[in-house]
Structure 1
Amino acid sequence: MPDERTSAGVEPAVPARLVVVTMAAAVFLLSMIQTLVVPVLPEIGTQLGASATAVGWVTTSTMLTASAVTPLLGRLGDVFGHRRVILAALVVTLAGSILAAVTHSIELLIAGRVLQGASFGLFPLAISVLRQALPKEKLTGAMAVTASALGVGSGIALVATGLLTQGGADYRRIFWLCVGMTVVVLVLSAIAIPRLPGQGGRVDYRGAAVLGVGLVCLLLPLSQGHAWGWGSAKVIGLFVAAVVILAGFIVLQRRTREPLVAFALLVRRPVLATNLAALCIGFAMFSVFLGITYFVETPDAVAGYGFTASILRTSVVFMLPGAIVSMFTGPLAGRLVARIGPRLVLLLACVIGLVGMALLAVLHDTTAEVIVGVIICNAAIAVAYASMPTLLVMNVGPHETGVANSINSIMRTVGGAIGSALVVTILASQVATHRLPTGPVSLPTESAFVWTFGLGGAFFLLAALLALFGIPRTTSSRLTPTEEREEEALSLAGEFASSSIDLREASPERG
């Protein structure tokens, strides 16, 4: 079997650490693309002369693309090989980033963001690469570091946006940052990702199309519901369509010989609990980022709370410490997962996140109090994300790795969409009007932010309950004898691919 991997083009000179760094960089890129535009949406509208509704599509379009293509990219990687699919996704992302950086049209900016949505497929593909390219004893830590880049990327993106757009600077700078980062990841991927073959099989394009349409019908009203009206016929109709189409997708998958997502995979207890936990953590992450951003930028002289922070101060003073802490929690989480198991790590992360949200809800009068709360929440999010790939890999076969992590990515996206929608709705519904010499100004009440942080804590609590009761304490292998042989082959290939670094911890039987 090692000889077959060699003929497939595995380069033994590529260190395993370079593979891990490359996959973490790819996940960092997609997280950055997701978050980068959030603080500058008003500036985009001002500089392009676009309405708030049109500007909202700058974020919505990327999310909709991600929901449609992520499962397909994961399956394509499993079937045809992950290296070529990652490189293709990065080329599409680069094209979208360049378009967004050079255009002066809101329509073309949205088109660029649509293309950037291909980057969301990088996470499941990255986890699949690690599973194939690394020996088992190095896999847990590598997946933890890679997954924790989700939280790090979001935090760094907010800081970078503040630095690049201070003083009303051209918002296009953030997209040039995307261009540069995408080029770096593209070069690293071309060098570092081994040319391991795919698992074979067929791609259920019909199922991918149905799932994509169903997810679009679900996410579109979540992102636009506040503007359209939650009780409008358009919103209700799309929600109903989402339920019907997604139910039809399940029926279709059960009748398909090689489905995109096996129904048995969706309802497998540890996988289902992990996916629901991902939704909860996605909600909590956006309740922190959006809630804190709006809170600290509120003028305290008018509202009686807040810090009148500029975008730059918000990014550097309030967000940067949490982002820095997140950078160090990935390796720590990897060690914890190896020592106590991913279930307990996820549970611990959720408890820490609940504490952080409770602190933000109660203590937010000083800069130090807010920073401490944000640091705790960011660390919890990074550790929680770090535990999930291991939970999935323990419960799915090699041929299901890409799709399983794709569904997990979608659940995070859905959670983030729900979190964004509820935060915006809460802040818009609980307002107080203040009389100023320039005219009346309506701002959210302080209790609206308490509700926002309280809801984030509730979702951390729900994720903790899922980890405690939904995931078994000991997870038995779900692999068939054929899949167990595939796992051993992948491990052998991983040892060969990383033969240029120290493998003293590897099993002597595999040597």
Structure 2
Amino acid sequence: MVGFLVLVEMTSGVLQGYYTPLFTDIARHLGIHDADVNWFEAAQLMVSALVVPALAKLGDMFGHRKILLASTAVTALATWALVFSGDFWSFLIAWSLQGFYVVWLPLEIALIYSRSQESPDPAALTRKAAGLLVVGLEAGAILGAVSGGVLGELLAGKLWLVLMIPAICVSLCFIVIWRGVPESPVRTGGRLDSTGLILISFALLLITAGLTFMRTNGPGTWWAWLAVGLGVLALWPFVRHELRHPDPMVDIRLLRSSAIWPVMLTAFLFGVSVLGSQVPLSTFARTDPTVVGYGLGVGSSTVSLLIGIYLIAMVAGALLFSWVSRVSTPRITLIGAASLIGLGYSLFVPFHDQVWQVMANMLVAGLGTGALVAALPAAAAAAAPLRQTGMATGLTNATKTIGGSFASCVFGIALASQIAGSAAAAPGSTAGSLNGYLLVWIVCGATGFLAAALLFFVPKLAFRTAVPGQVAVR
């Protein structure tokens, strides 16, 4: 089963890596500003944040494999729609719906944890499997990034043909799940908490709408801040409803536990760097320093190489995660991984002028990122009751995507603003501001260090399976 799921994660990796070296080409194809590409990511991440909790809960209720198949079908249709989208809005809608793939990894972790209960140490087995899944994910991302960059140059002017490759991959992925992945043995049944879903969706949409108004009308727009404030206030009735509901979509009481709430906050902060920084890093590398005074001025193939090195570091981090957790503790592993992310992005602030400097920074951040991608859902599964593993692992991805969505909106505003002291772009240039890029790296570094600090609140023996004579820490 894990072998088939590795193939699924390879497809997820292709989706995450293939488009990155093509962002500038997509912007030129659609006739939009580089900073506007952030809105594709922001919209996709917000759709993911809305659907992942519901899909993860449905997986607990009716079977993780069924929901995995359904989400793959939606992703395949959306990926094919990108091939035929020639304007901003149609591309935005298709790109947003493609975000259903984000639920794959938490559903897979929940499926593995559910089927491993007869083993002596389900939590350790799940961590090992999670590391293998992330290796598949990053192998697919490397393959996607390299092939996307190469095909982008070989088939210049035929973007529709280049975009067909990931659509074919997702279609094949559906067949792999259908034929090779068994269903989880534990299902809760029941009905979906539709009221809770509506309340949380309303709150998140208000917050995102406010950020959108700030992007289009400027940070000084009062009604944008009002929308964000109303969105935050709308979380209050959602929490009250979930506390009263006998089978809530999000178990607020579970989130209060000392082993869960730092993991969820870490996932949110992790999303800022792992998801929010992708577009800024790609567009900075493609920016011509002879025109605006900053950037690397490289082609899509070199961007693919940089991404490939970053993803290799992520593979190393994912492989080391299980071993380091075994020789130390899962908690220490999480703290170390978050610290590496903070260090890697902080190094961008003084060192960003040469390709080798960017490469070294990405290696450091990549080690921590690979470990956290595997560690967060595995830690949530080990800390949650067996019948709530889908919800717990899904929430790590949901909070991660919310963090990435907010970061994409804020970073889009930063890159579009010519902040005082930034090198001015040439007339007609679509490049982002240098100070905007510096802000992106500072925020990503700070969130990494903050996540490491929060993880010190986790109990020292959390995420371990109980052994005879001991009590498991939950």
What displacement does 1:170 show? 2.8
Query: 1:62–1:463: structure 2 CA closer, same or farther, 3 Å change rule?
Result: same
Aligned pairs (5 A) from 1:375-386? 375-386=363-374
* Contact persistence 1:147–1:389 (CA under 8 A): no
Partners of 2:330 and 2:13 lie apart in 1 by: 22
Residue 131 of structure 1 is matched in structure 2 by: 113
How much has 1:143 moved relative to structure 2? 1.8
Give the secondary-structure state (helix, strand or coil) at the position aligned to 2:349: helix
Q: Which of residues 356, 359, 363 is equivalent to 1:371?
A: 359
Residue among 130, 135, 141 paired with 1:143: 130
**Contact 2:146 2:301 survives alignment (8 Å):** yes
**CA displacement, residues 138-158 of structure 1 (integer Å, 9 cap, x when unaligned):** 222002332566666666544
How far apart, in 2, do the equivalents of 1:253 and 1:452 lie? 35
Q: What corresponds to 2:455 in structure 1?
A: 467
Aligned to 2:255: 266
1:307 corresponding residue in structure 2? 296
- Alignment counterpart, residue 239 of structure 2, candidates 233, 245, 250: 250
Select which of 164, 167, 177 maps to 1:179.
167
For the structure 1 residues 72 and 369, does the alpha-carbon distance in structure 2 shift closer, same or farther, using more than 3 Å as the test? Answer: same
1:329, 1:382 within 8 Å by CA — same for their partners in 2? yes
Q: Select which of 408, 412, 415 maps to 2:403.
A: 415
Gaps of 5+ in 2: none
Matched residue SS, 2:450: helix
| Identity between Structure 1 and Structure 2 (%) | 20
Which stretch of the first structure deviates more once superposed, 199-208 or 102-111?
102-111
Alpha-carbon distance, 1:340 to partner: 2.0
Q: Answer with 406-415 or 319-328: which moved more.
A: 319-328
Residue 477 of structure 1 and its aligned partner are, at CA, apart by: 8.0
Correspondence 1:293 to 2:287? no
RMSD of aligned C-alpha atoms?
A: 3.1
SS of 2:348's partner is helix
Using a 3 Å threshold, how does the CA distance of structure 1 residues 286 and 356 change in structure 2: closer, same or farther?
Answer: same
Amino acid at match of 1:93: T
Corresponding residue of 2:273: 284
Q: Residues of 2 paired with 1:160 and 1:225: CA distance?
A: 36
Size of the alignment, in residue pairs? 457
Structure 2 CA distance, aligned partners of 1:71 and 1:350?
A: 24
1:330 aligns with 2:328: no
Equivalent residues of 1:93, 1:116 under 8 A apart: yes
Partner of 1:424: 412
* Aligned-residue offset at 1:226: 1.9
Q: Distance in 2 between matches of 1:104 and 1:28?
A: 28
Aligned equivalent of 1:359:
347
The separation in 2 between residues aligned to 1:434 and 1:207, in whole angstroms, is 46
> For residue 98 of structure 1, what is the aligned residue in structure 2?
80
Letter of the 2:310 partner, please give it.
Answer: G
Q: Distance in 2 between matches of 1:221 and 1:175?
A: 32
Q: Deviations over 1:311-335 (max 9, x none)?
A: 222222x222112232333222122
Once the two structures are superposed, residues 38-79 of structure 1 have per-residue CA deviations (whole angstroms, 9 ceiling, x without a partner) of: 554554354345788986654344223212211111111101
* 34 and 442 in structure 1: CA distance in 2 versus 1, 3 angstrom threshold: closer
| Rounded Cα–Cα distance in structure 2 between residues aligned with 1:157 and 1:359 | 27
Report the TM-score, using the length of structure 2 for normalisation.
Answer: 0.86
Which residue does 2:334 correspond to in 1?
346
Amino acid at match of 1:121: V
- Structure 1 residue aligned with 2:53, among 68, 71, 84? 71
- In the TM superposition, residue 105 of structure 1 has moved relative to its aligned partner by 5.0
Matched position secondary structure for 1:196:
coil
Structure 1 residue 277: Cα displacement: 0.7
**Is the Cα–Cα contact under 8 Å of residues 141 and 334 in structure 1 kept in the other structure?**
yes
1:442/1:87 CA distance change after superposition, 3 Å: closer
Provide closer, same or farther for how the CA distance between residues 33 and 434 of structure 1 changes in structure 2, counting only shifts above 3 A: closer
Structure 1 position 441, deviation (Å) = 5.2
Which residue in 1 is equivalent to 2:424? 433
Cα displacement (A) at 1:397: 0.5
Aligned to 2:201, the other structure's residue is in SS state helix
State the distance in 2 between where 1:49 and 1:358 align: 33
CA displacement, residues 191-215 of structure 1 (integer Å, 9 cap, x when unaligned): 3321334422322122222222322
Of 146, 159, 165, 2:152 maps to 165
Check 1:287–1:108 CA distance in 2 against 1; reply closer, same or farther (3 A cut): closer
SS in 2 for 1:258: coil
Question: Judging changes above 3 Å, is the alpha-carbon distance between structure 1 residues 353 and 108 closer, same or farther for their aligned structure 2 residues?
Answer: closer
Residue of structure 2 in register with 1:238 after alignment: 227
* SS of equivalent residue, structure 2 residue 176: helix
The 10-residue stretch of structure 1 (424-433 or 249-258) with the greater mean CA deviation from structure 2:
424-433
| Cα deviations by residue, 1:222-259 (Å, 9 ceiling, x for unpaired) | 45632242333552243123213222111111111111
Question: Which of the numbers 63, 68, 80 marks the counterpart of 1:86?
Answer: 68
Note if contact 1:164-1:173 (Cα within 8 Å) is conserved in structure 2.
Answer: no
Specify which of 116, 122, 128 is matched with residue 98 of structure 2.
116
Instruction: Name the CA distance, whole Å, in 1 between partners of 2:435 and 2:90.
Output: 39
Counterpart of 1:209 (choices 191, 198, 208) is 198
The code of the aligned residue for 2:184 comes to: L
Rg comparison, structure with higher value: 1
Counterpart residue identity of residue 122, structure 1: W
Which range moves more in the overlay, 446-455 or 243-252? 446-455
Change (3 A) 1:299 1:142: same
TM-fit CA distance, 1:179? 1.6
Q: Please list, as runs of the form range in 1=range in 2, the aligned pairs for 1:188-207 lying within 5 A after superposition.
A: 188-202=176-190, 203-207=192-196
Shift in Å at residue 398 of structure 1?
1.2
- Are the aligned partners of 1:68 and 1:209 in contact in 2 as well (CA < 8 Å)? no
When residues 184 and 340 of structure 1 are mapped into structure 2, their CA distance, relative to the original with a 3 A threshold, is farther
1:487 corresponds to: none
